[in-house]
Amino acid sequence: MTEQHHPGAPLDLGVLGFERGAHLLVRRALHGVPVGGRITVTGGDPALGVHLRAWARREGHGFSAVTGRTATWELARGSAETDRWAGAERAGGPGPDGIVARPPAHWGLAARGALVEAGGPDVRFDVDDRDVVWADLAPRLYAHAAAAQWDPATAVDWDATTDVPAEVEAAVVQVMTYLVENEQAALVVPAGLLARVHPHFREVQQLLAVQAADEARHMDVFTRRALLHGGRMGTSSAGGRSSLATLLAEPDFSLASFLLSVLGEGSFLSLLAFLERHAPDPVTAQITHLARVDEARHVAFGVAHLEHQSGVDPSLRGKLRTAIERRHDALADTAGLNADVFDALVVLAAGAWTPEAIARGHDAVQELHHAMDEGRRQRLARLGFPPDEAAELSALHTRNFM
């Protein structure tokens, strides 16, 4: 690659022909002269003259044979190539500091920072506003998420079994069934959103893609745990599925990630901590711990980009409030949390069937509700809600938790 071709010097192609890449050397030589400038080309390939003429015509360069010399031609550099890139523009810069506020639709799938030829198709990515989608935390969160991926087969000691009483095991199976259902919603929502994000916000797409992969693993380990001792899956309630359906139905990027990540997954942080603490067996403790670490990232991104947005858009809080109220109204006639799940949580925390143990389990579930409420209020405060409004809105959150 160090071979220099001095501008204007004859280019000798040796025996290299156009079928083996001669055009690269010819084009490189032409780049050494300005538009209108000339180079001479010589070579021993019998078809060189024919091929050179055809190539020059296609590329818009002048072509003539040099009289009095064999196998020597002259090319005059045309302007087609420079014309082609005349309307080109850089798609921002490659790093996060090169992100623009509103990447245009015609940048489409071009790499950020690439020189984009004019005239390509418009590709509609409707989430294309930096203030809506971006958080400065996104590149770091993505790197952390990529490094923190774990293998369900090896990260969990599936053989670490303890004797769990049959009715406590049934409670675990019921909770796992409920978790899988919620994980499926938590996968579908970011997967849908990421396909709508302009690829210019690459790190956000990457983060959402890894988030979806996290949920895929959560579905996997919770299903495995449910079936670990040969039982059947538990129940799925109409009220639980209604709650999740309203999550899937929210078309607005900010509102969808608010309801899912800030409120739903935020509440799940408390639930997973509860399950880890009260787990009757090591596998349950391990998988709820692994899932909670992942969920903390999902919540962090949701809070970070909404915090950024609420800083630049004073009307955001009103929209968030409306979204909570609308969802609450839509779910007013549904049962909320599956009663089987509530009972299973009590039994799981009780660990035994004495009145004292059940009372302890019940108290623990009440504490869980308080912890979830407290967490939601703190996150709402991060988004700028005053304490009384944060408390009011937290109380309107779905009883299904997610």
**Interacting residues toward Fe ion by CB under 5 A:** 183, 186, 215, 218, 265, 295, 298
Distance CA 239, CA 327 (A): 13
Nearer to Fe ion, 138 or 186 (CB): 186
AA identity, residue 341: V
Nearer to Fe ion, 128 or 265 (CB): 265
> Minimum distance from CB of 372 to Fe ion (Å)?
15
Nearer to Fe ion, 224 or 321 (CB): 224
> Minimum distance from CB of 138 to Fe ion (Å)?
16
> Minimum distance from CB of 264 to Fe ion (Å)?
8
Nearer to Fe ion, 128 or 215 (CB): 215
HSE-up of residue 6 (Cα within 13 Å, Cβ side): 2
> Minimum distance from CB of 312 to Fe ion (Å)?
26
Contact 197, 205 (CB under 8 A): yes
Nearer to Fe ion, 12 or 220 (CB): 220
Handedness of CA 340, 345, 348, 350 (dihedral sign): negative
What is the H or E stretch that residue 63 is in? Answer: strand 62-65
Nearer to Fe ion, 29 or 172 (CB): 172
Contact 194, 209 (CB under 8 A): yes
Closest CA to 189 of 128, 251, 262: 251
AA identity, residue 125: F
Question: Residue 119: left if φ>0, alpha if ψ -120 to 50, beta else—which one?
Answer: left
> Minimum distance from CB of 206 to Fe ion (Å)?
16
Distance CA 367, CA 152 (A): 30
> Minimum distance from CB of 215 to Fe ion (Å)?
5
Nearer to Fe ion, 237 or 261 (CB): 261
What is the H or E stretch that residue 42 is in? Answer: strand 38-42
Residues for the chain: how many in total? 402
> Minimum distance from CB of 315 to Fe ion (Å)?
27
Distance CA 341, CA 180 (A): 12
